[in-house]
Structure 1
């Protein structure tokens, strides 16, 4: 199953049913409950906190496929467990390590 991520597609508009992103240093998924004037009443999905923010900080988004990536160590006698970062794979290396392999999922429509 392919993972997804949110991609910003433009400024907030009330016609867009969601998803939405709140820009506050980083981009956070949010739910827009209501808008009055230049303020939006939202819930930040990561924390569940509800508050008001300027509408200019909200963006329309859409879900797009995101390739999965992982790293695996190859040994003389086989392969080790999958790791989510290159550093984690290298840190778990042991005797007989031949190399650390980076694996990235190829999404439909991408060249292999």
Structure 2
């Protein structure tokens, strides 16, 4: 299954059906969290997110229109002399396990429309 991330499209607008992201004015960093807006009163949105417990409030000026875009998965597989396989999320982690290593395979998912 392909992983997804949020891509910012621009400032919050009523016409956009979601998803939304939060722009943190504190450190000018966009927090890529999927936001569900329940209501808006006087520029304050009552929201919930997938990565934080409970409902909370955020200024609408910090809300951004977003869309989900696919992200290619990438990992490394070590094949060992005894026939065992181990999967690692980074090359550095895979390189830590060299004993009896037969070969290391780098795997990157090809997304629709990429390559030939």
Q: TM-score, normalization: structure 1?
A: 0.80
Q: Does residue 6 of structure 1 match 2:6?
A: yes
Structure 1 residue 78 displacement after superposition: 4.8
Aligned residues: 111
Aligned partner (choices 35, 54, 57) of residue 59 of structure 2:
54
Q: TM-score, normalization: structure 2?
A: 0.78
> Which 4+ runs in 1 deviate beyond 6 A?
none
Q: Is the 8 A contact 2:12 2:63 kept in 1?
A: yes
Secondary structure at the residue paired with 1:5? strand
Aligned partner (choices 80, 90, 93) of residue 88 of structure 1:
93
Alignment of 1:27-66 (within 5 A): 27-66=32-71
CA RMSD of aligned residues (A): 2.2
**Structure 1 alignment gaps of length 5 or more:** none
**Structure 2 alignment gaps of length 5 or more:** none
